[in-house]
């Protein structure tokens, strides 16, 4: 399965990437402004110049910063960021829930997954349907354990896209996996989320077995409606109380 992976936080290099990246996303280092000088960051982070420069290169690849000779390193505007990068997604969640961003992730799923399910109902082979069914079984076994739930859930949605047998949709699996991981981590907080979600996933599998595109699309939309409700509840519960 194609899976989006975050940059490893182990070791000084990964820790520096995480530290600076999170501070950019949080707004501590504001868009359009220069990062602190190398000397200041070296003193603050207690790392070598080589480690710092390699970390900045990673952040530049994610389009969070841009380095130019003689002018230093500038934080790019949010419109320039690679918002679908797994680390950038994770940092946005770590920085605190942003309603607009989370709603955008759900909207992206609505644009992609129902159509993919329609195609999968026509094109999925028996092996792919069996993998989807097995993933549902693992979700049921996971109970309320988020860590145990995420892997089979991500596998389910990645295989669903691949089962469309549309080459371009298949290449979206990495992007969708990044989006799903971010959305799941937040929207799965309300109690009872998993108990409802497992049978909703199984309904998609049943529609694929019946080769019923309309039913498959409808089943995905029902699942997304449930996710939207969970997201709304989680946002309400995380909102600061006066």
Helix (H, G, I), strand (E, B) or coil at 75: strand
Contacts of 104 (CB under 8 A, 6+ apart): none
Low-confidence winner among 76-85, 105-114, 204-213, 226-235 (lowest mean pLDDT): 226-235
173 belongs to a structural domain: yes
CATH number for the domain harbouring residue 231: 1.20.120.530
Same domain membership, residue 180 and residue 137: yes
39 belongs to a structural domain: yes
6 belongs to a structural domain: no
Same domain membership, residue 180 and residue 104: yes
pLDDT score of 2: 39
pLDDT score of 148: 87
| DSSP one-letter string for 138-164 | HHHHHTT-HHHHHHHHHHHHHHHHHTT
Question: Among residues 22, 46, 80, which one ends one of the domains?
Answer: 80
Same domain membership, residue 207 and residue 160: yes
Q: What pTM value is reported for the model?
A: 0.79
Considering only residues 11 and 104, tell me which one the structure prediction assigns the higher pLDDT: 104
pLDDT score of 176: 81
2 belongs to a structural domain: no
Same domain membership, residue 171 and residue 74: no
Structure tokens at 193: 């989320």
Instruction: Output the CA angle 135-198-196, nearest 5 degrees.
Output: 165
Structure tokens at 229: 């409700």
Considering only residues 218 and 85, tell me which one the structure prediction assigns the higher pLDDT: 218
Tell me how many domains the chain contains.
2
Same domain membership, residue 109 and residue 195: yes
Kindly tell me if the per-residue pLDDT of 24 is higher than 80. yes
- The answer to whether residues 35 and 72 touch, using CB atoms and an 8 Å cutoff, is yes
What does the pLDDT average to over 31-55?
A: 94
3 belongs to a structural domain: no
CATH number for the domain harbouring residue 70: 1.10.10.10
Same domain membership, residue 198 and residue 114: yes
* Mean pLDDT rounded to a whole number for the chain: 88
89 belongs to a structural domain: no
Same domain membership, residue 186 and residue 101: yes
Question: Among residues 80, 110, 131, which one ends one of the domains?
Answer: 80
Same domain membership, residue 162 and residue 222: yes
Question: pLDDT for 101-155, tens place per residue?
Answer: 888 888 989 999 999 999 999 999 999 999 999 999 999 998 878 888 889 999 9
- DSSP H helical segments within the chain, as ranges? 11-26, 38-45, 49-61, 86-95, 99-123, 126-142, 146-162, 167-170, 173-187, 193-209, 213-238
Residue with tokens 């529609």: 207
- Domain with 147, as residue range(s), is 97-238
4: how many CB neighbours lie within 10 A of its CB?
A: 22
User: What does residue 203 show for φ and ψ, rounded to 5 degrees?
Assistant: -60, -35
**Confidence band, pLDDT 50/70/90 cuts, at residue 4:** very low
User: What does residue 225 show for φ and ψ, rounded to 5 degrees?
Assistant: -65, -40
What does the pLDDT average to over 54-71?
A: 93
Same domain membership, residue 191 and residue 234: yes
**Confidence band, pLDDT 50/70/90 cuts, at residue 94:** confident
Same domain membership, residue 216 and residue 101: yes
């Amino acid at each position: 399965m194609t899976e989006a992976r975050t940059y490893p936080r182990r070791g000084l290099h990964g820790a520096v990437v995480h530290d600076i990246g999170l501070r950019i996303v949080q707004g501590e280092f504001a868009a359009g402004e220069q990062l602190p000088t190398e000397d200041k960051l070296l003193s603050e982070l207690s790392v070598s110049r080589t480690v710092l420069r390699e970390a900045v290169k990673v952040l530049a690849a994610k389009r969070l910063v841009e380095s130019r000779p003689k002018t230093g390193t500038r934080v790019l505007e949010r419109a320039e960021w690679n918002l679908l990068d797994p680390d950038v997604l994770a940092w946005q969640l770590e920085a605190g829930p942003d309603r607009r961003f989370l709603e955008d992730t759900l909207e992206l799923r609505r644009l992609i997954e129902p159509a993919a399910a329609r195609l999968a109902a026509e094109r999925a082979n028996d092996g792919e349907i069996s993998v989807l069914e097995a993933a549902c079984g693992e979700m049921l076994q996971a109970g309320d354990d988020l860590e145990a739930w995420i892997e089979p859930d991500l596998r389910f949605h990645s295989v669903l896209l691949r089962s469309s047998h549309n080459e371009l949709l298949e290449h979206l699996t990495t992007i969708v996996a990044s989006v799903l991981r971010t959305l799941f981590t937040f929207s799965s907080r309300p109690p009872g989320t998993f108990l409802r979600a497992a049978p909703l996933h199984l309904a998609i599998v049943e529609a694929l077995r019946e080769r019923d595109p309309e039913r498959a699309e409808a089943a995905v939309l029902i699942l997304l409606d449930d996710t939207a409700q969970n997201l709304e509840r989680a946002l309400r519960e995380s909102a600061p109380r006066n």
